[in-house]
């Protein structure tokens, strides 16, 4: 009799208590899973954003490189104006007669080239600015307003700045923008 009684009671208690424990754990497990998943997804999203930013930076740098060589090529094709220092950024102006069969003077071509070049830079680069000058120390200059061209020697410098991190600042010092420079002799 005693043996039967024990046998009947035993299975009931563990079943009830284990059922309650199971319910409690499920809820916490779900919450933890959601939390872990959220953190993981946030991490993935951050990674994706970083990857996109890096892609964007690489793309812009390749655009900048093409733009720098574009103006250098224009100067080589218009050597008279380049040697006459007519590739002066302050003189940039669209000269529609350069697109006619009658043509335009080398100086007008230089002005037209710079105007087209400036337009491309400001259109494709955030806060993009470009400068052309004679500079014996080309790897400097903070922006269009302070290009640090010494104007000496026979080495031309093409300097392009843009706001790579898009913080709204263009000064290279302290590292608020990217600068790309090529220098060449005609």
* Interface ranges with Ca ion (CB under 5 A): 135, 137, 140, 148
CB of 182 to Ca ion, least distance (A): 14
Of 83, 57, 51, 60, which Cα lies nearest the Cα of 155?
83
Tokens coding 96: 């529609």
- Between CA 119 and CA 71 the distance in angstroms is 12
CB of 186 to Ca ion, least distance (A): 18
CB of 131 to Ca ion, least distance (A): 11
Phi-psi region of 41 (alpha: psi -120 to 50; beta: other; left: phi over 0): alpha
Q: Given the complex with Ca ion, which of 135 and 164 has the nearer CB atom? A: 135
Render 112-171 in DSSP notation, one character per residue: HHHHHHHHHHHHHSTT-EEEEEE-SS-S--SBTTB------SS-EEEEEEE-TT-SS---
CB of 123 to Ca ion, least distance (A): 27
What 3-state DSSP class applies to 182? strand
Of 113, 86, 85, which Cα lies nearest the Cα of 98?
113
Q: Given the complex with Ca ion, which of 128 and 147 has the nearer CB atom? A: 147
Q: Given the complex with Ca ion, which of 107 and 137 has the nearer CB atom? A: 137
Q: Given the complex with Ca ion, which of 107 and 148 has the nearer CB atom? A: 148
Q: Given the complex with Ca ion, which of 113 and 135 has the nearer CB atom? A: 135
- Between CA 139 and CA 157 the distance in angstroms is 9
CB of 97 to Ca ion, least distance (A): 34
């Amino acid at each position: 009799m005693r043996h039967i009684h024990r046998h009947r009671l035993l299975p009931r208690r563990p079943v009830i208590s284990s059922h309650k424990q199971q319910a409690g754990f499920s809820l916490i497990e779900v919450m933890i899973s959601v939390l872990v998943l959220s953190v993981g997804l946030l991490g993935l999203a951050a990674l994706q954003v970083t990857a996109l930013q890096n892609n964007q930076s690489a793309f812009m740098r390749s655009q900048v490189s093409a733009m720098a060589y574009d103006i250098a090529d224009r100067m080589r094709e218009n050597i008279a104006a380049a040697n006459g220092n007519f590739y002066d950024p302050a003189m940039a102006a669209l000269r529609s007669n350069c697109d006619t069969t009658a043509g335009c003077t080398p100086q007008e071509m230089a002005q037209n080239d710079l105007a087209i070049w400036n337009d491309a830079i400001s259109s494709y680069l955030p806060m993009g600015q470009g400068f052309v000058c004679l500079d014996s120390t080309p790897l400097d200059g903070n922006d269009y307003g302070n290009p640090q061209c010494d104007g000496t020697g026979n080495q031309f410098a093409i300097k392009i700045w843009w706001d790579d991190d898009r913080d709204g600042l263009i000064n290279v010092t302290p590292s608020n923008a990217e600068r790309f420079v090529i220098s060449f002799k005609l």
